[in-house]
Amino acid sequence: MATPVPLAPLARDASQTDRAVLGIRDLVLRGEFKAGERLPELALAELLGVSRTPIRAALQKLAEEGLLEPATSTGYLVRSFSDNDIFDAIEVRGTIEGLAARLAAERGVSKLVLDEMRDTLAQIDSTLTKASPGGAHLSRYSALNGRFHALLLDASGSAMVARALARVTSLPFAAADAFVAGQGEIPGSLEILRVAQLQHHEIVDAIEARSSARAEPLVREHARNARKNLELALRNGDAMKRFPGAPLIRRRGGA
């Protein structure tokens, strides 16, 4: 059984269910429970320091997100993912983020938002300029990249798009920075990040120019970089170990 871990930090008013969702998700992504393994409600309640009621609600929510699946009788099992499952999730994310970019370009974005996006990109530029092979720059890049993608979503002004994207990116492999952590182990990873950053600049340029016809395909192509990164990682065992949720991936030719 997994050793006790502190619950992920949340606001003081966060519900017990929210805390349980984050705690269980963290355990699953770290490989504390293997793909196909049943999640024990009582053990999880003791491990996370909550009652069984929020544990049940959390398991149901994680099943709705796609991280778990219902067992044949009762309870929930950890789900495994094929390469194609991950590729499809990335493609869906790109489609939704592409829509966000199109809406931002069509509806227009304030100078304040554009300045925030430009400032974030300037910080990424600085991070990549100072970066060297080995991966020390990856944590800062990941944080700034996440901020940029959040700003892109906000620029759409669409709560519907935000909800759709939140559902997709709740899966461990679909978020914009899902494969950044292990890139320090991949030859040429720094160049991959630099290409992605050039795309960031092009996306903002298209939004500022109110060119929805350019902004949307740019974002969709940008998302496909994650697929390229995954394909590289699948050929590099050391890199793959660093990706959250890696134990859940069902490799080709294997279980």
What is the pLDDT averaged over residues 22-30?
90
Of residues 213 and 184, more confidently modeled = 213
pLDDT score of 11: 44
Same domain, 74 and 196: no
CATH of the domain at 52: 1.10.10.10
User: How many residues can be counted in the chain?
Assistant: 255
pLDDT per residue over 27-44, tens digit each?
A: 998 889 999 999 999 999
The answer to whether residue 94 is domain-embedded is: yes
pLDDT per residue over 134-156, tens digit each?
A: 556 777 888 899 999 999 999 99
Q: Helix crossing, 83-107 with 212-234: angle to 10°?
A: 160
Report how far residue 2's alpha carbon sits from residue 46's, in angstroms, rounded to the nearest whole number: 11
The answer to whether residue 92 is domain-embedded is: yes
pLDDT per residue over 37-90, tens digit each?
A: 999 999 999 999 999 999 999 999 999 988 999 999 889 999 998 888 888 989
Q: Which residue do the tokens 């963290």 mark?
A: 26
Same domain, 72 and 173: no
Query: What CA–CA distances, in Å, run from 222 to 102, 180, 225, 254?
Result: 14, 14, 6, 30
How many C-alpha atoms does 65 have within 13 Å on its Cβ side? Answer: 24
Same domain, 118 and 243: yes
The answer to whether residue 122 is domain-embedded is: yes
pLDDT score of 241: 66
The answer to whether residue 70 is domain-embedded is: yes
Give the range of the structural domain holding residue 61, as residue numbers without chain letter.
16-79
pLDDT score of 63: 94
The answer to whether residue 198 is domain-embedded is: yes
